[in-house]
Chain A
């Protein structure tokens, strides 16, 4: 049990490290949001599960926190991405842009 939880904690930490590296290295907003969301969501899951394995009475709590994160985290990143598309349009390196017809390119948002 101890070992499982420690392994999970290390994995969680590694995912956070990858997320940070991704945010640092990716070239534009959308790819940064991608790296930030994914790695931190999975990292948080792994960390919480590790805590759950270390203190088994906390398992239910941890499960509920995981459900809340799984619902709220992707929605937050979607809204951020939509807002930044509305604010500055697509970055120059995209190969395909289906969103333009729907959100309509750049708007003056200040």
Chain B
């Protein structure tokens, strides 16, 4: 199963980077070459890979693309305007601090996605993950308690990610 997952990821990346241009014949040539290259790389790389895919994977991918990405992009745009306002104002309004956020998510991929989402929404930068705690540097510490911080920073992502990565 690990081999299949690695092989599919490699082959799809290859085909995507080659692009869907040219005639059918050219595409078939690329397909054959891509399959061979991906097979060779699969046997080298599969030992280092620790993810698998199952029959539910396409469903999760759809949920991820159509439910998570819009929420994420909206947060990204709002927060970028916030940072733009800070950067452009004459005296930069800052109230920085390092806060600890508890997460209920299980699994490395879920935590990675959550940490990356926190980093990409401006104003917050995840620094380290330790078990179920994520340490975050934030430009503006708003909450007084860990719960308030969590609500401000990560709660909106966590609900959806909990559904996607189970």
Contact = CB atoms under 8 A, between A and B. Distances in A.
Interface string B142-153: 000000000000
B126 interface: yes
B152 to A, nearest CB: 13
B164 to A, nearest CB: 16
Given A74-B119, A96-B99, A21 B88 contact: yes
A38 B13 contact: no
A94 interface: yes
A15 B122 CA distance: 12
Contact of B116 (A28, A71, A91, A97): A71
B61 to A, nearest CB: 12
A63 B125 contact: no
A27 B124 CA distance: 16
B135 A74 contact: no
Contacts, number: 123
A95 B97 contact: yes
Contacts of A95: 95-97, 141
Interface residues of B, number: 40
B98 A97 contact: yes
A26 interface: yes
A78 interface: yes
A85 B92 contact: no
B16 A63 contact: yes
Given A37-B120, A42-B120, A93-B94, 5 more contacts: A15-B80, A18-B88, A42-B76, A95-B96, A98-B99
29 contacts: A18-B83, A25-B92, A26-B87, A26-B92, A30-B96, A31-B139, A34-B124, A35-B83, A35-B87, A37-B125, A38-B80, A38-B120, A38-B122, A39-B83, A42-B80, A57-B21, A60-B20, A70-B116, A74-B120, A74-B126, A78-B115, A78-B127, A82-B128, A91-B96, A94-B97, A95-B97, A98-B100, A102-B130, A102-B133
Interface of A: 15, 18, 21-22, 25-28, 30-31, 33-35, 37-39, 41-42, 57-58, 60-61, 63-64, 70-71, 73-75, 77-78, 81-82, 85, 90-91, 93-100, 102-103
Interface of B: 13, 15-17, 19-21, 76, 79-80, 83-84, 87-88, 92, 94-100, 115-116, 119-128, 130, 133, 135, 137, 139, 141
